[in-house]
């Protein structure tokens, strides 16, 4: 589709007629004015065979006048800035930034999940469910933080979901250490989101772990306070059925309950929700619920690419002008 950026410039097309109507007759062809040969050539073209006069009398618009007028009209069209409007391109400015903070400590190797009648590890169950979660949100940017004894940003926020999936499926329990530094992972995730700029309301963290914070420099209390200050929602997911040793039973220690309490506080203080999944079906339902609570932002923002076309009438006017000058000089 062709459009003009300055359509009002079309009024310039009337200027030659207005000038002709208002022009006062001069005393002679050249008078005492400074003679410019180039302009004189165009005057001779316009005077054409007595049909159009410059010195007064009856004004008749001959062929030469219209030849010059076509040049003027082409210049007017160039001044109007014609552009070709291309197909609309959708802009992803409204996408959410989702950072997946995933526990890969050695306890994630536990095979207390089942799929198709077969026992699978917690890690395998998480990989399958989280991978499906990413596929269902093509409009959003995803990043991946993996943690054990230490936390690492393995995939920065990106629209390249295939790259995030590659990292997700390549992670193995214990590759970041044997213990669980949840506080450090939260700190790293918040730092990553803050450095990415933009609106914090479009950012969130999904923290998944199967244990309690037992390592790292940041305690859970410090992590909760830091998350509150940043104003980023942190959804927490506790996986696995938990394990009880004889020593824990004797002293009435329930590590799973302690972990869930800390994770619930983290989620609630940031305006999010804490979840628990003890089997594959429950884990899938957790991510379905998160998908509903934080739907993708699908604002219809489009840009329309423009291709400048002003040079076409401008070149046409130039070549017609050269032709006119050549014509009159040849007739001399």
Q: Is 70 helix (H, G, I), strand (E, B) or coil?
A: helix
Terminal Cα-to-Cα distance of the chain (whole angstroms): 45
In the chain, DSSP finds a helix count (H) and a strand count (E) of 11, 13
Q: Is 37 helix (H, G, I), strand (E, B) or coil?
A: helix
Residue 212's pLDDT is what? Answer: 87
CATH of 97-293, one of 3.40.50.410, 3.60.20.10, 2.40.30.10, 3.10.100.10: 3.40.50.410
What's the rounded Cα separation, in Å, for the pair 2 and 83? 6
Going by C-alpha positions, the residue among 162, 170, 138, 133 that lies closest to residue 293 is: 133
Residues in contact with 282: Cβ distance below 8 Å, sequence separation at least 6, in sequence order: 276
Q: Is 200 helix (H, G, I), strand (E, B) or coil?
A: helix
What's the rounded Cα separation, in Å, for the pair 4 and 95? 33
Dmax (CA) for the chain in angstroms is 122
What's the rounded Cα separation, in Å, for the pair 268 and 273? 6
Q: How far is CA 26 from the centre of its chain?
A: 64
**Helices of type H across the chain:** 15-22, 37-47, 63-79, 122-135, 161-170, 182-195, 220-230, 246-251, 255-269, 280-293, 311-331
Residue 56's pLDDT is what? Answer: 41
- Domain ranges in the chain with CATH number 3.40.50.410: 97-293
Residue 235's pLDDT is what? Answer: 95
- What pTM value is reported for the model? 0.61
Classify residue 201 by its DSSP letter: G
pLDDT, one tens digit for every residue, the chain (332 residues): 888 889 999 999 998 888 877 876 555 444 455 554 555 555 555 555 444 444 444 445 677 778 888 999 999 999 999 998 888 776 655 578 999 999 999 989 998 898 888 899 999 999 999 999 999 998 889 999 999 999 999 999 999 999 999 999 999 998 988 889 999 999 999 999 888 766 667 899 999 998 888 888 888 889 889 888 888 999 999 997 644 444 344 434 444 444 578 899 899 999 999 999 989 999 999 999 999 988 876 655 677 788 899 999 999 999 988 888 887 777 66
């Amino acid at each position: 589709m062709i459009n003009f950026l300055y359509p009002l410039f079309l009024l310039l097309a009337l200027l030659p007629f207005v000038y002709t109507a208002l022009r006062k007759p001069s005393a002679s062809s050249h008078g005492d004015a400074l003679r410019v040969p180039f302009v004189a050539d165009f005057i001779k073209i316009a005077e054409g065979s007595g049909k159009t006069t410059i010195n007064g009398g009856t004004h008749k618009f001959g062929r030469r006048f219209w030849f010059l007028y076509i040049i003027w009209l082409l210049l007017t069209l160039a001044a109007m800035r014609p552009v070709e409007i291309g197909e609309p391109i959708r802009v992803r400015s409204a996408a959410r930034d989702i950072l997946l903070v995933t526990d890969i400590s050695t306890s994630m190797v536990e095979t207390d999940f089942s799929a198709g009648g077969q026992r699978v590890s917690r890690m395998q169950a998480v990989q399958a469910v989280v991978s499906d979660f990413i596929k269902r949100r093509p409009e959003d940017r995803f990043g991946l933080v993996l943690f054990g004894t230490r936390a690492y940003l393995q995939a920065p926020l990106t629209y390249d979901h295939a790259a995030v999936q590659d990292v997700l499926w390549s992670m193995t329990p214990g590759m970041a250490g044997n213990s669980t530094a949840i506080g450090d992972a939260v700190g790293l995730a918040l730092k990553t989101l803050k450095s990415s700029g933009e609106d914090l309301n479009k950012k969130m963290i999904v923290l998944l772990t199967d244990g309690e914070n037992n390592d790292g420099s940041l305690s859970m209390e410090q992590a909760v306070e830091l998350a509150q200050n940043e104003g980023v929602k942190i959804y927490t997911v506790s996986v696995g059925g938990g394990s009880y040793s004889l020593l824990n039973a004797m002293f009435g220690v329930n590590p799973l309950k302690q972990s869930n309490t800390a994770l619930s506080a983290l989620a609630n203080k940031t305006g999010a929700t804490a979840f628990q999944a003890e089997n594959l079906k429950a884990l899938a339902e957790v991510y379905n619920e998160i998908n509903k609570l934080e739907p993708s932002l699908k604002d219809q923002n489009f840009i329309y690419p423009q291709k400048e076309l002003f040079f076409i009438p401008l070149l046409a006017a130039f070549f017609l002008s050269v032709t006119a000058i050549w014509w009159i000089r040849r007739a001399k």
